[in-house]
Structure formats: C-alpha cells, structure tokens
C-alpha cells in the first residue's frame, strides 16, 4: 500500500516539474510558492474526497488519487499534442490530406463495427439473463437476480426497485421492495412520499423530491425550443422523463439517504407494466382474461462510494435493460397467475372446503361438550358474579386449549395457504395478520410500512409449515405454562397477572385483533379462505381468554386494595381507641 503512495507522489512530482519552474534553496528545500502552485490544488481535492469517502487505507487512496491526477494531465498533454499536429498537417499536400481523410474514414468504420459487436454482445447477454429470470419461482427472486446482474453490468454499488402505492392518508409513496444487496441493504422496506408542495422547505430538507421526478410529465420540445409536433400537426403528448441522473448526490438536497451519505451518482427511471398478482385479478366470468392492474415501478442504481457519475453508455444500457425487464416481469406474473389459478381450482379449493367442514364439525362437538360440562342454571336460579366469572374463565381456558391443539394437528393443511401466489382479499389478510400477531409476531413483520396494510409478501412465508409449526408449538407450550401457574395461584392479583403475562399475545395485539375481527363477518371469511376461517375462530378464543384474565386480575387487585384500605382503617381506629 505504501509503495503505491510513494510511486504516485514521485510520478506526480515528475509530471509537475515539466510544467512549473522549481526554485530550490541551497539546502534543496522546495519553494513554498511552487508547492502551492503545483501541489496545492490536486492535494486539496484529494483530501476533500478522503474526508467524504473515508476509505479503510487513506494512504493508499491518496497515492491512487495522485496517480489518477497525473494520468489525466498526461492524457490532456497527448490530446493537445495531437490537436497541434492536426493543425500543422492542415498545411500539408493534397495527397497527404486525402490519405488522412481515408485513414479517418477507416478508423470511423472500424469504431462503428466494434460498437456494433459490443452492442450485439450486450443484447445476447441480456437475452440470456432474462431467459434465466423466467425460471425463477417467485417475483421476489426475479427482482433479486435482475438487480444483482444490473449492478454488476453497470459497475454500480447498489441497484433497487420500488413500487408506487398509496399511504393511509392517500398520498403517493414509493416503497422499495428489492435490492441487489438484500438482506444487508438499508433501502429495502423503506419508502419516500411524494412532496405535497414544491415549495415545502421541510420536504426538501427530508430529501423526498428526486424519486418522484421520474413521474413528472415533460412536454417534448422541437429544435427551435418550442413544443414538438406530430406529422399531423398535433403537439406530442407529455411523458415522464426517460431517466433522471443526479451526478453528485451530495449536492442535491432532495436525495433521500437511508444510510451514510457518500459521494456518487444516482440513476433512476420509472416504468409501467400490467400486473397480474393483485387481490382483484380473478375474473369469475372468464379466468383466461384476468383483471390486470397498471402498476408503476421505479428502477434505481447508484455509485455512492465510487465518487463517479454514470457514463452515457451505462445510461443507455440501464434504459434498455429496465425496459426489457418490464416485459419479462409482465410475462412472469401472468405465468404465475395462470399456474396459481389452476392449482387453486383443481386441487387446493376442493380440499380446503372439505377440510373446513370437518374443522367446523369438530368445533361444534367441543362446544356441545362445554355446554354439557357447564350447564345453564336451573330456571329461577342465578349464579353469583364470582361464579359466572369462574365459569367463563374455565370455558375460555378449555376452548383456547382445544382450538390450539386442533390447529397444531392440521398444520400441513393450514400451510397450503402459504403456497398461494396471488394475494388474498383484504379481509383475509387482516384475519391472518390478527392471528399471527397474537402468536407473537410484530406488526412490522406483517404490515407494509408504506401503505399500513397487511402484506401478503410478508405473511405468506410465516404460514409455511416450518414457521407455523414453530410458532404454534411455542404457543401451545405457553398454555401448558399457564396451566401450571393456575394450579399454583389463580386467585391473587399477582398470580393472575403472571398467568396473563405467560400468554404470548400482548395487550396491544389483543386490542387490535378484537377491533379487526369485530369488522369481519365470519361467513365472508369462510367463503374467501377456509384457512383464514380457522384462524378467525382461534383468534376470537385468544382474545376472550386474554380479556378474561385481565378482568380477573383487575378485580382481584381491586379487592386486595379494598382489603388493605379496610385493614389500615381498622388499625387507625384501634390506635385512636
């Protein structure tokens, strides 16, 4: 590393000496004026880049930077020499001029041929890449593989894709869903909102403008600077820009950084395609003609950390590759939809409908057993409040235990839902999200941070057999722990709180699930998804058990507080006596 630095400094000094006079004292020290003139500028630039990039080896970086500066100076010298040579050759004979023109024409033809060969090679590579993308089993992997390739092809630091959607307030946002660096990327699952006011200084400060520049329609201009017209004389329609290139992101305050800001460039563009993977895609009248959704996605690549802008060739390749990818993505989504629809109609749907009937029958038998175990009081009799609460507590405990065991025993069937590619309707996703949150998952693991809605991309892996087995077994173990705590102490406020805390469902999750399930009609869930219907019944049992324990703990605490207050009052009265 040190040798590189010294070599860079040596070459730098030799180069500068050919341009600037060197004044040396008797002790051979360099004159300060020479240092300022020959070294000051390049060294200042190098130190500025050093401060911004903060490389692991500053000495090596400085040496390489000076070497590059020397190379640039030498290149400029060569260009100037060739220019002067051409100017001198202008006074040569007509024969020499003819030879020079012929040589230039040959060179130009050769360059065009080489350019054509390079372009054909790039097209062949892109064709192979997109053929491989068609073999990927999911859209997530299609995104991942494409971004990895594009990042390598453009010599970029990171490439990422965002989807345009709407947040709970109705504002447009771009939610970044994939990256070439996933899962280490700081961009994935982040989003930027569209500025509501172009003059909003706060919006500029937060860096939310550049991403949405790709959607701003621009009217084409003619050679005279005025509006461009079609052959028929009509003005050409406005359209989004072909790309947006920010050559230095540190100088653009509207760039949003999700990590440490670094010197580099950002290249981005938007594209629209027909999406087949959305909740309303199924056309009940004709499955061969699904309901497609026009969807926008945003492609971005950056060189943050390389301190360079994208070349014209890289920009052209970026545009061509992303345009081709839109076609590939549309074809892939349609193929996945057709396969998913065939699987659902021919196999999954009949099996799950039959399963739901059997599941409901088992639940009905359990309810009959509970009714027999806890018969209603005889006519004219009334249970005390304490007796009613004890009865409700035991019923809730037995019901939740039974339904949990029932879910565990049918995990392979329940996990069929996870294989579905097309997202479920919102009420189904809300039911799944409520159930999984009661099992202990955090909201960020279930909801789209940009839209605030349950995300099938996040939920579906959690319903896989392995993940479902792990969380349901853990929940079942917690019920066993609760039973042990009940035997130890189920009357004191402290004991009841311990029992409640052993339940994985947090108070926030219980409150949210209660609110969600109250807005859902069970018959609608039964029709939309038999698996979601099972989770619906189970989630209601969890909510009932949690609320019952909370109420009992609060009541026990109130009784204990009253007893403590009464004892204190009696003690005070005894002292007065």
**Domains annotated on the chain, with CATH:** 119-194+208-219+237-340 (3.30.450.40), 386-568 (1.20.920)
Predicted confidence at residue 194, as pLDDT, reads 85
Predicted confidence at residue 133, as pLDDT, reads 93
Report whether pLDDT(105) > 70.
no
Instruction: Give mean pLDDT, residues 413-432.
Output: 96
Instruction: Give mean pLDDT, residues 182-195.
Output: 88
Q: Per-residue confidence at 230, pLDDT binned at 50, 70, 90?
A: confident
- Residue 261 to residues 47, 180, 214, 288: CA-CA distances in angstroms? 17, 18, 22, 48
Q: How far apart are CA 330 and CA 333, in angstroms?
A: 5
Instruction: Give mean pLDDT, residues 237-250.
Output: 88
Q: Per-residue confidence at 386, pLDDT binned at 50, 70, 90?
A: confident
Predicted confidence at residue 414, as pLDDT, reads 97
Report whether pLDDT(225) > 60.
yes
Round the average pLDDT of the chain to a whole number and report it. Answer: 83
The residues near 518 (Cβ < 8 Å, ≥ 6 apart) are none
Q: Per-residue confidence at 307, pLDDT binned at 50, 70, 90?
A: confident
Predicted confidence at residue 132, as pLDDT, reads 92
Q: Per-residue confidence at 391, pLDDT binned at 50, 70, 90?
A: confident
Which of 512, 509, 507, 489 is CA-nearest to residue 499? 489
Predicted confidence at residue 62, as pLDDT, reads 72
CA dihedral sign of residues 109, 115, 119, 120: positive
- The answer to whether the beta carbons of residues 300 and 162 sit under 8 Å apart is yes
Report whether pLDDT(404) > 80.
yes
Predicted confidence at residue 68, as pLDDT, reads 67
Predicted confidence at residue 513, as pLDDT, reads 97
Secondary structure letter of residue 279 according to DSSP: T
Report whether pLDDT(14) > 50.
no
Predicted confidence at residue 208, as pLDDT, reads 54
Report whether pLDDT(449) > 50.
yes
Supply 113's token pair.
């041929």
Predicted confidence at residue 93, as pLDDT, reads 47
Task: Return the higher-pLDDT residue of 52 and 479.
Answer: 479
**Cross-strand partners of 267:** 245, 301
Residue 407's Cβ-count burial label (10 Å; 0-12, 13-18, 19+) is buried
Supply 232's token pair.
């028929």
Predicted confidence at residue 504, as pLDDT, reads 94
Name the range with the highest mean pLDDT among 12-16, 38-42, 226-230.
226-230
Please state which of the ranges 102-106, 482-486, 521-525 shows the lowest mean pLDDT. Answer: 102-106
Task: Return the higher-pLDDT residue of 573 and 518.
Answer: 518
Share of the chain above pLDDT 70, in %: 78
Q: Per-residue confidence at 501, pLDDT binned at 50, 70, 90?
A: very high
Predicted confidence at residue 23, as pLDDT, reads 35
For tokens 């990927």, the residue is 136
Share of the chain above pLDDT 90, in %: 54
Predicted confidence at residue 425, as pLDDT, reads 95
Predicted confidence at residue 253, as pLDDT, reads 84
Q: How far apart are CA 514 and CA 541, in angstroms?
A: 10
Name the range with the highest mean pLDDT among 81-85, 170-174, 369-373, 525-529.
525-529
Predicted confidence at residue 1, as pLDDT, reads 41
Report whether pLDDT(207) > 50.
no
Task: Return the higher-pLDDT residue of 287 and 208.
Answer: 287
Q: Per-residue confidence at 104, pLDDT binned at 50, 70, 90?
A: low
Please state which of the ranges 87-91, 145-149, 231-235, 409-413 shows the lowest mean pLDDT. Answer: 87-91
Phi, psi of 374 (to 5 degrees): -125, 75
- The answer to whether the beta carbons of residues 503 and 549 sit under 8 Å apart is yes
Predicted confidence at residue 198, as pLDDT, reads 52
Q: How far apart are CA 300 and CA 315, in angstroms?
A: 11
Task: Return the higher-pLDDT residue of 93 and 408.
Answer: 408
Q: How many residues does the chain have?
A: 577
């Amino acid at each position: 590393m040190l040798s590189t630095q010294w070599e860079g400094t040596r070459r730098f000094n030799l180069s500068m000496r050919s341009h600037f006079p060197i004044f040396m004292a008797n002790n051979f020290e360099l004159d300060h004026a020479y240092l300022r003139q020959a070294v000051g500028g390049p060294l200042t630039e190098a130190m500025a880049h050093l401060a911004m990039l903060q490389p692991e080896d500053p000495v090596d970086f400085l040496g390489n930077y000076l070497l590059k500066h020397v190379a640039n100076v030498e290149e400029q010298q060569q260009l100037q020499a060739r220019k002067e040579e051409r100017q001198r050759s202008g006074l040569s004979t007509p024969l020499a001029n003819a030879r020079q023109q012929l040589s230039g024409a040959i060179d130009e033809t050769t360059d065009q041929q080489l350019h054509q060969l390079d372009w054909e090679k790039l097209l062949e590579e892109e064709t192979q890449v997109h053929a491989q993308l068609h073999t990927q089993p999911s859209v997530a992997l299609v995104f991942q593989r494409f971004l990895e390739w594009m990042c390598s092809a453009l010599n970029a630091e990171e490439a990422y894709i965002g989807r345009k959607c709407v947040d709970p307030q109705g504002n447009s946002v771009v939610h970044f869903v994939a990256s070439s660096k996933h899962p280490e990327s700081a961009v994935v699952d982040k989003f930027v909102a569209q500025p509501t006011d172009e003059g909003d200084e706060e919006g500029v400060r937060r860096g939310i403008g550049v991403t949405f520049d790709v959607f701003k329609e621009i009217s084409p201009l003619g050679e005279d600077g005025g509006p461009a017209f079609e052959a028929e004389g009509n003005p050409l329609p406005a359209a989004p820009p072909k790309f947006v290139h920010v050559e230095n992101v540190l100088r653009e305050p509207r760039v949003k950084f999700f990590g440490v800001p670094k010197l580099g460039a950002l290249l981005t563009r938007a594209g629209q395609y027909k999406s087949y993977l959305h909740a309303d895609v199924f056309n009940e009248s004709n499955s061969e003609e699904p309901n497609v959704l026009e969807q926008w996605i945003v492609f971005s690549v950056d060189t943050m950390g390389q301190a360079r802008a994208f070349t014209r060739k890289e920009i052209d390749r970026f545009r061509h590759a992303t345009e081709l990818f839109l076609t590939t993505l549309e074809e892939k989504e349609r193929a996945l939809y057709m396969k998913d629809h065939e699987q659902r109609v021919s196999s999954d749907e009949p099996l799950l409908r039959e399963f739901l009937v059997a599941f409901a029958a088992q639940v009905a038998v359990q309810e009959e057993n509970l009714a027999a175990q806890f018969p209603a009081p005889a006519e004219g009799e009334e249970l005390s409040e304490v007796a009613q609460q004890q009865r409700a507590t035991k019923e809730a405990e037995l019901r939740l235990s039974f339904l949990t065991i029932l879910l565990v025993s049918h995990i392979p069937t329940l996990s069929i839902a996870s294989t579905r590619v097309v997202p479920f309707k919102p009420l189904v996703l809300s039911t799944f999200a409520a159930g999984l949150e009661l099992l202990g998952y955090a909201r960020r693991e279930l909801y789209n941070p940009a839209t605030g809605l349950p995300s099938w991309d996040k939920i579906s892996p959690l319903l896989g057999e392995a993940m479902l087995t792990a969380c349901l077994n853990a929940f079942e173990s917690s019920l066993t722990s609760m039973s042990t705590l009940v035997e130890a102490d189920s009357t004191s406020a402290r004991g009841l709180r311990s029992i409640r805390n052993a339940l994985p469902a947090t108070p926030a999750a219980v409150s949210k699930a209660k609110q969600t399930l109250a807005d859902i009609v069970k018959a609608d869930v039964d029709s939309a998804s038999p698996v979601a219907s099972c989770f619906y019944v189970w989630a209601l049992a969890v909510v009932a058990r949690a609320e019952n324990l909370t109420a009992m703990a609060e009541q026990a605490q109130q009784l204990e507080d009253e007893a403590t207050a009464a004892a204190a009052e009696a003690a005070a009265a005894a002292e007065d006596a």
